[in-house]
Amino acid sequence: MKNRSDWAPFSALVLAGDRRPGDPVAALGNAGCKALTPVLGVPMLYRVVSALQASRHVADITLVGPGDQVLAGNPTLRNMIASGEVSMLEPAASPSLSAHRGLKHIQSRPVLVTTADHALLRADIVDHFLEQSRVSGCDVTVALTPLVTVMARFPDNRRTAIKLKGGPFCGSNLFAFMTPESEKVAAFWKDIEQRRKNPKKVVMGALGFVSTLRYLLGTLSLEHAMQRMSNAVGVRVGAVIMPFADAAVDIDTVDDFMLVEKTLRQRAST
């Protein structure tokens, strides 16, 4: 196994395009897009960029979005791009298509993919995920946080979770594309994206009838689920279990926004 100092650095992709018009979180700011909505005074996208810049393993950052139209009215973001701090691509019609565009643009691997609304992201969260992804032996890894970890930290917050033995688990908006073969996951991600609020349909499509039955009974293990998913996609897919509740929190709703601002205030006071 290579020493950590010999590891090739990660490129990072940040998905920063708006998913839909009239986003309630975007409406909280005046920047014209969700990614630049201020969270405790700082646009959420900048918080994500800062966490990535502080990581020991991230070498460069590419934004997929928010797009030239938004860029024209945002001198801070224009300066970040002009200085080489970040680069930017136009977003595609959905997060999965934007990720595919970014992965095509970045020829090297490994690549970390995350989202602009991951406003509680920290460098230690990023480093833990990337280090575990390095030693996983997988083509693609996804970050999952046990629901019990999230609820212990945020007991009043509702999270979508997938019921698996040893779980349930919450998605955590961190994906590592380790090898060239990992691009096969983009099409599968598109399917998950379309059905992500219905975990049963995601499992049925990926795992088949017998495994879905086991899932519904709560007896399907995470390891079995990852193996069946790997078989379905044609690459080795693995999960990195995150010990950080903050990793599972993104800003999809106004309630999420309020939770994140409250959490950031608590961080600032400690």
3-state SS, one letter per residue, for 137-199: CCCEEEEEEEHHHHHHHCCCCCCCEECCECCCEEEEEEEEECCHHHHHHHHHHHHHHHHCCCH
Give pLDDT, residue 168: 92
Rg over CA atoms, the chain: 18
Distance CA 127, CA 260 (A): 21
pLDDT at 60 over 60: yes
Residue type, 194: Q
Distances in Å between the alpha carbon of 270 and those of 74, 263, 265, 266? 32, 11, 9, 7
Mean pLDDT within 33-53 = 97
In which residue are the tokens 């643009």 written?
105
Q: List domains and CATH numbers for the chain.
A: 8-146+169-184+235-269 (3.90.550.10)
Residues 6+ apart with CB under 8 A from 270: none
Mean pLDDT of the chain: 88
pLDDT digits (tens, 9 = 90+) for 159-182: 888 888 888 999 999 999 999 999
pLDDT at 80 over 50: yes
pLDDT digits (tens, 9 = 90+) for 81-128: 999 999 999 999 888 889 989 999 998 999 999 999 999 999 999 999
**Closest to 205 (Cα-Cα) out of 170, 140, 215:** 215
pTM equals: 0.89
Q: Judge whether 204 and 212 are in contact, CB under 8 Å.
A: yes
